[in-house]
Amino acid sequence: MAERRLLVLFGSQTGTAQDTAERIGREAARRRLHCRVEALDSCDVANLIHEPLVVFVCATTGQGDPPDNMKMFWRFLFRKNLPPGSLCQLDYAVLGLGDSSYPKFNFVAKKLHKRVLQLGGNPLLPVALGDDQHDLGPDAVVDPWLLALWDKILALYPLPPGLEIISPDIRLPPKYTLHYLPEDSPHPEGDLLRPAAPRAVPSELHPFAAPVVSNQRVTAPSHFQDVRLMEFDVTGSGITFSAGDVVMIQPQNCPEDVQQFCQLLHLDPDRRFVLKPTEPGTSLPPLLPQPCTIQHLVTHYLDISCVPRRSFFELLSYFSTNELEREKLQEFSSAQGQEELYSYCNRPRRTTLEALWDFPHTTCAIPADYLLDLIPRIRPRAFSIASSLLAHPDRIQILMAVVQYKTRLSKPRRGLCSTWLASLNPEQGDVRVPLWVKKGGMKFPADAATPVIMIGPGTGVAPFRAAIQERVAQGRRGNCLFFGCRQKSKDFYCQAEWEELVTKGFLTLFTAFSRDQEEKVYVQHRIQENRRLVWELLSSGNAHVYLAG
């Protein structure tokens, strides 16, 4: 009998593709398939030639780009020297997640499907193109596609004699079990939160704990938006970057939310535990120390402020001892209940913690073992670097708007990372932020004579501040910046710095203050007014144009 094993590989930027891949993993377990779910860059691509059955789940980001955790796989797959028949033993299916409001809708999934076919793979189904724009979201395509997929797979790999599909009424085991340590067991020396000294250049798995040097509000106190210029010290980290690069920051939950979560679930924040995988061969979450406290798990790992997904309600329904709550949870996790779930969760941006409040009987019955299945990990946030090492050695600066807005819920919505960063005060001792740097999508011209036209309204000016600092330090003059904001007196970021560079002849600056006069004026109006200059820079100067918003 053929070995009934399935590999589910995902490329995910925001977590949706990973969530879908894990759903496929659970559905495979119900059909008694031996299934592994991994990020594309975590699997050894060379081993694909030994895999009988693979489902790829991949998102498309930006302008048709693959997500970060499948970039190496993508480069390998498109190598010219791969033999045409190298994947001839592979049965496969590709599920794409995209957004049809973008021109390159599901580009990565389509291209992957075609490439695996070229390499000899045998497609079980046509590529699925999930669409965020659909009223029911990607699930409108995913649900029926998965039903067809399981029909195909069970025809190829029938259930072993005497075994049946595990009923949806039965709860699957958790991915990990938490083993509490005795209260009096010795504590290892040192602070859990202090990352180990970096062995190599800092990365997501080994971030650098950078001290916060300054945290300065750059909008007027009366302005509705709080925008910060923050500086981090990266001395000794080995971090290097150039203009256009991005700093990744790993945020944490606020103490009040952590305390509320622990109270709701009757968890003791000081209890220490070790994690054991349920299935042999499952790797442990890389960013969690072992042993770990509940406090650390909830503060640094569980994303209790994210908007919960359908899979959250599905798993939650298994713990419910209250019939009313269980019915509601089952409705939210059904295909028919997706519109109602959208109104309950997505539209008002309700958080996981707030959803748990609404299901009190179920919440206090959640076994701690299931926490890592129920709640995704906190994802790092990306910020354009707003400074140059040539102007500020050993420093990284960012220009950050603190995210806060109202929905129909009484409590204002707050961005997890920006709220946490804004709260940090370097005058209160040694305040550190876990970070690392990533190549950005913007490359500035190597040729010193090439002029640069930069259009950066609001905090979109951040990468251009880095570029202008870098270019001025190299003595380059052809810098033209179009900057826009609401009012000159309230949110004209870095005004003094720009004006000094204009005086010294390093910068040509055009500003649009939309609310400083009757009729609104934006950067596009200034570009139109200065069309002769812009055209001259483009036609005879060969200028490069950059736009960030």
SS in 3 state form for 457-504? CHHHHHHHHHHHHHHHHCCCCCEEEEEEECCHHHHCCCHHHHHHHHHC
Other C-beta atoms lying within 10 Å of the C-beta of residue 461: 26
pLDDT tens per residue across span 423-470: 999 999 899 999 999 999 899 999 989 999 999 999 999 999 999 999
Q: Is 267 in a helix, a strand, or coil?
A: coil
Q: Is 191 a residue whose pLDDT tops 50? A: no
Residue that the structure tokens 């298994």 belong to: 318
Q: What is the pLDDT of residues 49-60, one digit of tens each?
A: 999 999 999 999
CATH number (3.40.50.2000, 3.30.1330.10, 3.40.50.80, 3.30.2350.10) of 452-547 reads: 3.40.50.80
**pLDDT score for 198:** 47
pLDDT at 279: 87
The class (CATH top level) of 5-156 is: alpha beta
Domain ranges of the chain: 5-156, 208-251+380-438, 255-374, 452-547
The three-state secondary structure class of 53 is: strand
Whether 286 shows a pLDDT value over 60: the answer reads yes
Contacts of 355 (CB under 8 A, 6+ apart): 308, 312, 313, 345
User: What phi and psi, each to the nearest 5 degrees, are found at residue 16?
Assistant: -70, -45
In the predicted structure, residue 238 carries a pLDDT above the cut 60: yes
- Please state, for a pLDDT cut of 90, what percent of the chain lies above it: 89
- Identify the weakest region by mean pLDDT among 43-47, 372-376, 532-536: 43-47
For residue 1, name the pLDDT band (cuts at 50, 70, 90).
low
When the pLDDT of each residue in the chain is averaged and rounded to a whole number, the result is 94
| Beta strands, E only, 76-154 | 91-98, 122-123, 128-131
Query: CATH topology for 208-251+380-438?
Result: Elongation Factor Tu (Ef-tu); domain 3 (2.40.30)
Same fold, 5-156 and 452-547: yes
Residue 196 pLDDT greater than 60, yes or no: no
Least Cα distance to 86 among 125, 47, 58 occurs for 47
Other Cβ atoms less than 10 A from the Cβ of 110: the count is 18
- CA distances in angstroms from 210 to 197, 230, 428, listed in the order given: 12, 12, 15
pLDDT at residue 151, rounded to an integer: 97
Q: Enumerate residues 6+ apart whose C-beta is below 8 A from 522.
A: 457, 484, 512, 514
Cβ atoms of 94 and 128 closer than 8 Å:
yes
Q: Please check whether residue 444 is in contact with residue 544, taking contact to mean a CB–CB distance below 8 angstroms.
A: yes
Q: CA 533: distance to chain centroid?
A: 40
Beta strand ranges found along 15-158 (DSSP E)? 34-39, 53-59, 91-98, 122-123, 128-131
Structure confidence at residue 280 (pLDDT): 84
Residue, of 188 and 81, whose pLDDT is higher? 81
The overall pTM is greater than 0.85? yes
| pLDDT category of residue 126 using cuts at 50, 70 and 90 | very high
Torsion from C-alpha of 476, 477, 480, 481, nearest 10 degrees: 70
Report CA-CA distances (Å) from 114 to 93, 121, 257. 11, 9, 46
| pLDDT greater than 50 at residue 535 | yes
Q: Topology of 255-374 in CATH?
A: NADPH-cytochrome p450 Reductase; Chain A, domain 3 (1.20.990)
